[in-house]
Structure 1
Amino acid sequence: MNKAHDADHAEEADSRESKKKKTKKYEKEIGKLQVELAHLQAWVKSSGARIVIIFEGRDAAGKGGMIKRITERVSPRVFRVVALPAPNDREKSQIYMQRYIAHLPAAGEVVIFDRSWYNRPGVDRVMGFCPEKKARRFLELAPRFEAAIVESGIVLLKYFLTVSEEEQERRFRRRIDDPVRQWKLSPMDLESYRRWWDYTRAYDEMIRMTDTEHAPWWIVPSDDKMRARINCISHFLKSIPYERIKFDKPDLGKRQKRPSDYIEDESLRHVVPDLAW
């Protein structure tokens, strides 16, 4: 009994050590990629490039974490994230693509769509928010719309994050049990869990009909979030022919001396209490 217990304890210790090493390696690799993203940012600003990245995929596949790793060390004025809510009454009366066109990049911008116009053949279609006829018409027209985007000089990259049924359920249950993750669990997430195969059919057809030479879909297996992030960000960087822009180090100069006539303001100030450990 003791030997079995000791063996289990040793196995758990080995697992923790292996996870620790994996995390350390991941942080090192993601750090290198974020340096390259900073170089890409400088090139985008200098060249006036326009880039669109679309992230689609299963609920709980890791889109939010992927986008966070891309954007956390760059400027939000260059890397702009677009995550549109459900359309309001005015937007419902517009041409479907209209509200997305307004968010396409100007010179020197990278726009990341956290879900995109592909809501129509995905959640809208499965949940009955748009008629089947309109969803199929979208699938016929989307490649032409994206061809026009690419022909205008915009770089368009489309990523679809996949996750297994088992891993998606594990992540959903973790959200249910963790107060800081509960906000991530929406009614639509629950429906996507229950209607796995309805979404599977919809996504299969979406990818088949809109995977084109000018705007292909890139599938990102995401059961392992760390590998998914490294693989996807590496692919994104390799897909852009950017060059490193020389950074001209500024001269800080000398700070001015305290004026002899300066008197410290002794009026009451509201200072945040120091409660840190």
Structure 2
Amino acid sequence: MRWDVVGEYIFSPKVLQGVGLTLILTVVAMILGCLIGLVLALMKISNSLLFNVAADGYIWLFRGTPLLVQLLFWYNLASFLPKLTLGIPFGPQWLEFDTNTVITSLVAALLGLGLNEGAYMSEIIRAGIQSVDQGQSEAAAALGMSRRRAMRRIVLPQAMRVIVPPTGNQVISMLKGTSLVSIVAISELLYTVQVIYARTFETIPLLVVACIWYLILTTVLSIGQHYIERHYARGATRNAPDTYMTKLRKLLGRTTPITFEAKAQDRV
């Protein structure tokens, strides 16, 4: 293990650029996935058979095929559709674009990650919405609220308690899943260190650099998830979950030594 090499490249400008692109991919893909997931979840719980079938078909397709295959499909879309047109199917076409110009490597990566994530987020959001008691919606209807307003003001805020924990897990999975886009030559963290060790032949130290950065980023995301969970847990539980610092302060604040006599008094 060459720790001197690890120290040399851990804050290298190229590596930091890869870290930045990894974060951008994670944020944009998760936003896209959450928006798609919310629409699909609302379609699945609607009374429309057409919406139900369309949502189920989307989830079946994107959840049933590997993410790597989807990334390669979008990256090689030009071999199947050389031109992208905007118009009426089997009718007049108004605009035409070259596929390679529109579907760049970055766009292919965002489409692959975001569309795939939408299938998973739809089930998470649907489970959160359905976890809210039906009486909440009935009470909103009794107050004269429209179904859309009740969903936005009453149901979704309560559903966030159930949605946030698995969504945080999906964000961390997305962060690590961005390493797959190296297959389409996106200079994210893993691809960057691969390019460096292909030149220097210091394979293991550069992979350690990538692992350190992934661990740092996932740690920060985990801490953020914990505080978001505390925010939405207020009012639902008598006591919101304590942070590590709160638990540590409570532990250090115990000044009375625990003796056998004290334990005996407690039992009495």
What range describes the TM-score normalised by the shorter chain of this pair?
under 0.3
| Structure 1 length-normalised TM | 0.22
Bigger share in strand: 1
| Structure 2 length-normalised TM | 0.22
